[in-house]
Amino acid sequence: MKRLIFLLCFLIFAVSSHPAFAMYNRFTTAQSLNQGQMESGISAGYGDDGDYDYKYAYLYPYLRYGLGYLLEIEGKAGVISVDKDRGGDDIGVLAGFELKYQIIKETKSIPIDIAIAGGYTVHLIDSQSLHEFDFAALVSKTFDVNKFKITPYGGPEITYTNGSYAPEGKADIFGILGASFAFTESLSAGAELKLGTDWATGVNLKIRF
């Protein structure tokens, strides 16, 4: 099974002749919400696509809900601005969803959380469509620092992008590195950097209830 997953990741990477949009940061640790628990927040970020010479910024609110059995779902909607070196700026709208499943929950014998996550985002930019599919594996660990909790997290991500706005279907692999800072049980903030042939970075603020 491990060999099959590795081969699939390698093939997706190998067949892509161009780098892909890095697009969005995930802003989520490997920890899952409890059943019925909700989290609402707003995320903003900036990134660069070297293939098309695009620079872009995004802003979107989101809502995350714990479905139970270590599974959660997220929905988002917002705006994106694309700065093209050749042709000016484009403003667009976006909407998407994500599923996350926590494979391993931290215990004394296994002192980390591990999860997998996948999502889809659709965009309408300059009357053209852009579709992004992504899949990531995440590892995180929570530390108590005075009255705060800090949770660094990271892992690999595969992203596939296509549509009339970027007519060549493109796939790529990125590395995620981020941290969540919990000020109280319900209020926290996060920062994240996603690196590959392209990059994206951003921050978010969220409330859990």
Quick one: three-class SS letters along 1-45?
CHHHHHHHHHHHHHHCCCCCCCCCCCCCCCCCCCCCCEEEEEEEE
Question: What is the CATH number for 7?
Answer: 2.40.128.130
Report strand pairing: 128-140 vs 148-162. Answer: antiparallel
Lowest mean pLDDT among 86-95, 107-116, 190-199: 86-95
Residue 177 confidence class, pLDDT cut points 50, 70, 90:
very high
Residue 13 confidence class, pLDDT cut points 50, 70, 90:
very low
For residue 119, the model assigns a pLDDT of: 97
For residue 21, the model assigns a pLDDT of: 57
Residues 84-94: tens digit of each pLDDT: 776 678 999 99
Total domains, the chain: 1
Residue 85 or residue 2, greater confidence: 85
Kindly tell me if the per-residue pLDDT of 174 is higher than 50: yes
Asked if 192 and 27 touch (Cβ cutoff 8 Å), the reply is: yes
Percent of the chain with pLDDT over 90: 72
Residue 9 confidence class, pLDDT cut points 50, 70, 90:
very low
Averaged pLDDT score across all residues of the chain? 88
Mean pLDDT of 151-170: 90
Residue 6 confidence class, pLDDT cut points 50, 70, 90:
very low
Domain carrying residue 130: 2-208
Give ∠ CA 64-67-72 in degrees, rounded to 5. Answer: 45
